[in-house]
């Protein structure tokens, strides 16, 4: 006797393929930024994470900028290099469709850095009180 362990109304379970494709896109773009791209506005840019839609038609690419570089200039450069990125992804990844790339500045990293600095400041204050 076979049992059906699926619950009604929940639909299909989430596929892991968009996550794998997003990780592959992140890796390829990171290598491109480090080795190939010659635009000086992209020198301080790194990819923090990528999220792909379930149909793999779009990928949201979140980037961070280090060294106090201009965020708007970096985003403009990312948009300008979008065709180059997509053509490289089409060659590197064996996908039926190359996802459309949407670029977003990752503001979470700034928040994490701010909270880390607050913790360091608290530790310094505790050290000063103990002395």
pLDDT tens track for 81-123: 999 999 999 999 988 999 999 999 988 877 888 899 999 999 9
Cβ atoms within 10 Å of 64's Cβ, excluding its own: 19
85's enclosing H/E stretch is helix 82-92
> Which of 72, 88, 75 is closest to 36 using CA atoms?
88
62 neighbors 50 (Cβ within 8 angstroms): yes
Superfamily grouping for domain 17-106: K homology (KH) domain (3.30.300.20)
- pTM for this prediction: 0.76
Percentage with pLDDT > 70 across the chain: 88
Looking at residue 3, its pLDDT comes to 55
Looking at residue 2, its pLDDT comes to 59
What mean pLDDT is reported for the chain?
A: 87
Asked if pLDDT for residue 32 goes beyond 60, the answer is: yes
Looking at residue 90, its pLDDT comes to 94
Helix, strand, or coil here: 37? coil
Contacts 24+ apart (CB under 8 A), 66-71: 69/41, 69/43, 69/44, 69/45, 70/41, 71/105
Asked if pLDDT for residue 127 goes beyond 90, the answer is: no
């Amino acid at each position: 006797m076979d049992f059906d362990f699926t619950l009604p109304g929940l639909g299909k379970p989430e596929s892991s393929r968009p996550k794998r494709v997003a990780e592959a896109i992140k890796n390829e773009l990171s290598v491109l930024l480090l080795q190939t791209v010659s635009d000086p506005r992209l020198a301080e840019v790194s990819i923090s994470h990528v999220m792909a839609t379930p149909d793999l038609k779009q990928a949201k690419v979140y980037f961070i900028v280090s060294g106090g570089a201009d965020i708007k200039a970096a985003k403009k450069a990312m948009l300008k290099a979008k065709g180059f990125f997509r053509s490289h992804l089409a060659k590197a990844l064996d996908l039926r469709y190359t996802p459309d790339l949407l670029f977003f500045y990752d503001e979470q990293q700034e928040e994490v850095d701010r909270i880390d600095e607050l913790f360091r400041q608290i530790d310094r204050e505790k050290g000063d009180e103990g002395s």
